[in-house]
Structure 1
């Protein structure tokens, strides 16, 4: 009998990606102080890419310790602009400022996944995507946020490319699944290799 799979994330889109791929899994949200971990790692000079990886590992380890017999998938995504991390907007005004800042420029998304089994990290992947946002008029920005707030508050950068947010971009270089927050193909490949899913 194959081992159970746990998604240590409360992200709806990550759960949808796994479900649509026909994976049977359970969701157990890992409660971690992300801001404190980020601040500590950045103070130590870690890159945004490494911050994403560390957060994913922390979540996977926290849930994995409770269910050692399962494959526990921890995930995190970090948006980096000019070397700085841009967090999820807490307020509508903050979302507007973020989009104005990113408009017409490039930024990076670092999507990390870590799998823990038996209390140990057995697999990890950080997928890097370069996002090029088109210039956005103030009128469209106001209308976009009026239509899509508060849904976009769950997305770093205040956009959701799986919805109307796709109109904000002129180019995306990298894995589309990673943009949504999970390097899905690589996760599925590892789970198939270990016999956790049929292949």
Structure 2
């Protein structure tokens, strides 16, 4: 479904007048907020409609790594949305969480979120974030990055209290946390780029957008 609630983003001062519109191939509120807070004009945000569970199962059966899955899903999402936005720069993005050699998925229920937190408790896990930009069916750019996060040992009482506090936001991220909020209380150490943890290699993306005149240079 296309995001029709918001008007197309205005051109910003210093951008090239003929720069292609930038489209987000996702309806993730976190990614859109991150982009708009950084001054990136988002022309539209559209749901890609990719069956992530099916793709992950196929890659798992082939013995692929989490990085390969993140890149493949990001490109699938971008290509799917780009079919509806000719001439635009369309970005797809994906994030994978790997712990003890296993991949975790976004929780869909409170019980699943609690299980995710129990799994991460006292361990270091890896977050992989990949973004792919396509235009008119061709991939023109991609970037992949990872970060390591160490979760302190979490008591059952803390997990319950935390989930009471964050509510449905626990279902918005693969680890059931948002580092930019109360989720910071889960960790003893974070190694890597902050924006990668949030789900998008933002700084390399802004370089690309400057090169295409979407952002001022």
TM-score by length of 2: 0.89
Q: Residues of 2 paired with 1:128 and 1:54: CA distance?
A: 16
The answer to whether the 8 A contact 2:151-2:188 is kept is yes
SS of the residue 1:190 aligns to: helix
The answer to whether the 8 A contact 2:20-2:212 is kept is no
The answer to whether the 8 A contact 1:48-1:84 is kept is no
Greater Cα offset, 149-158 or 176-185: 149-158
Report whether the alignment pairs 1:165 with 2:179: no
Q: Residues of 1 paired with 2:186 and 2:93: CA distance?
A: 25
Report whether the alignment pairs 1:58 with 2:79: no
Aligned partner (choices 16, 26, 31) of residue 33 of structure 2: 16
Task: Give structure 1 regions of 4+ aligned residues with deviation exceeding 3 angstroms.
Answer: none
Match of residue 106 from structure 1: 124
The 5 Å alignment of 1:25-174 reads 25=42, 26-174=44-192
The answer to whether the 8 A contact 1:9-1:74 is kept is yes
Gaps of at least 5 residues in structure 2 are 1-17
- Count of matched residue positions in the alignment of Structure 1 and Structure 2: 199
Q: Residues of 1 paired with 2:65 and 2:32: CA distance?
A: 27
Q: Residues of 2 paired with 1:142 and 1:66: CA distance?
A: 43
Q: Deviations over 1:31-88 (max 9, x none)?
A: 1111111111111111011101110000001111221301000001011111211001
Q: Residues of 2 paired with 1:132 and 1:5: CA distance?
A: 35
Match of residue 6 from structure 2: none
Q: Residues of 2 paired with 1:68 and 1:187: CA distance?
A: 20
The answer to whether the 8 A contact 1:48-1:83 is kept is no
SS of the residue 2:177 aligns to: coil
- 1:196 deviates by 2.1
SS of the residue 1:66 aligns to: coil
Match of residue 8 from structure 2: none
TM-score by length of 1: 0.97
Q: Deviations over 1:67-116 (max 9, x none)?
A: 13010000010111112110011111111111111111100000110000
Gaps of at least 5 residues in structure 1 are none
Q: Residues of 1 paired with 2:34 and 2:107: CA distance?
A: 23
SS of the residue 1:147 aligns to: helix
Q: Residues of 2 paired with 1:96 and 1:155: CA distance?
A: 13
